[in-house]
Amino acid sequence: MKYRILGATKLRVSVVGVGTWQFGGEWGHVYTQPEVDAVLGEAETCGINLIDTAECYGDHLSEALIGKAIREKRANWIVATKFGHHFRGHLDRTRDFTPADVQAQLDASLRALRTDYVDLYQFHSPDDAEFFRDDLWTAIQNFVRAGKVRHIGISVSPNTNIRQTDAATAAGAQAMQIIYNRLARQCEAQVLPSCQRQGLGVLARIPLASGYLSGKYKPGATFPANDVRANRKREDEDNALREVAEIAQREVPAGVPMAAWALAWCLQHPAVTCVIPGCKNPEQVRLNAMAADLPLVADDHPARVP
Ligand SMILES: NC(=O)c1ccc[n+]([C@@H]2O[C@H](COP(=O)([O-])OP(=O)(O)OC[C@H]3O[C@@H](n4cnc5c(N)ncnc54)[C@H](OP(=O)(O)O)[C@@H]3O)[C@@H](O)[C@H]2O)c1
């Protein structure tokens, strides 16, 4: 594994982390505790130390599964979670960014994670009205002062949101979470340069384009009803899968698993600190961790830790 400094947080993160939306049950599979233990156990074996979760991956369910899995070794992990939503059912959420509710969300996250602090507490896809409110920023700074939150992050939406990105440092945030993958490069124009100017850490989310950049799905692919991908517009998905097939042919070196290549592709950008692919099982963790060893992940990256 390779490690980088997550911008102004100074946290030393593995370049490949583990995204955990799937543990909430919206990716075609309901997870048991032993399955989550196995995924995170394999991650630890591979040198991965970063977990990204959220309040609404299930009703704090992903957090609870993680909390139980890492309870003996909390200090070895960098845990990033988020706030702003309540899970109501499959792909059904309500939003609440009021300070009192966010305080309750944080307390619920800490209980579920079985910890008394969160390493990185991230705004979860706020719109500008939810983001630009002084009372909320004051409340979150108070969480930091109380020791419940170590660092503040922004999972920005849409991923071209330059207003929120440009405001990040002045507001008190130190890291951004941004959609970035070989099919979704919109943040390259303004958002990533702004992160570089400010010295913000960058977590690339959806780095496998929801699994499509593994190369295993072909146009016409279908998904079970309880898989988030079943609800997407088929025509758009098939176009994406056609593009993946072209990329596989033109860009992926022979013998390199496409998923590992796709993660390394994200990691070569000088603004990107780490990727957080959702991993369904230990085998995917192992494959994804291989990205760190590909030549695209050069040793001269600005955030590299020897
Ligand atoms: N607004 C936000 O803040 C936000 C939004 C979205 C995601 N996120 C975070 O970003 C993380 C990653 O995004 P994501 O999970 O949506 O998408 P992703 O990482 O692009 O894709 C994950 C899916 O790809 C497949 N996969 C993973 N590794 C593979 C491998 N080595 N070989 C083949 N298939 C593989 C798995 O599904 P199958 O095996 O079933 O194909 C897995 O569930 C999330 O888990 C979450 O932590 C945050």
First to last CA, the chain: 11
This prediction's pTM: 0.98
Provide the pLDDT for residue 67: 98
Ligand 1 geometric centre to CA of 207 (Å): 7
**Residue closest by Cα to atom 29 of ligand 1:** 284
Provide the pLDDT for residue 147: 98
Provide the pLDDT for residue 306: 82
pLDDT tens, position by position, for the chain (306 residues)? 999 999 999 999 999 999 999 999 999 999 999 999 999 999 999 999 999 999 999 999 999 999 999 999 999 999 999 999 999 999 999 999 999 999 999 999 999 999 999 999 999 999 999 999 999 999 999 999 999 999 999 999 999 999 999 999 999 999 999 999 999 999 999 999 999 999 999 999 999 999 999 999 999 999 999 999 999 999 999 999 999 999 999 999 999 999 999 999 999 999 999 999 999 999 999 999 999 999 999 889 999 998
Closest approach atom of ligand 1 to CA 216:
33
Q: Tell which one of 280, 281, 286 to mutate to probe ligand 1, the residue whose CB is within 8 A of the most ligand atoms.
A: 280
Beta bridge partners of 122: 82, 153
DSSP class of residue 72? Answer: G
Provide the pLDDT for residue 211: 98
Q: Cα separation of 274 and 118, whole Å?
A: 18
Q: Cα separation of 56 and 263, whole Å?
A: 25
Closest approach atom of ligand 1 to CA 122:
3
CB burial of residue 154 (10 Å; 0-12, 13-18, 19+):
buried
Domains, the chain, with CATH or none: 3-305 (3.20.20.100)
Q: Cα separation of 84 and 102, whole Å?
A: 7
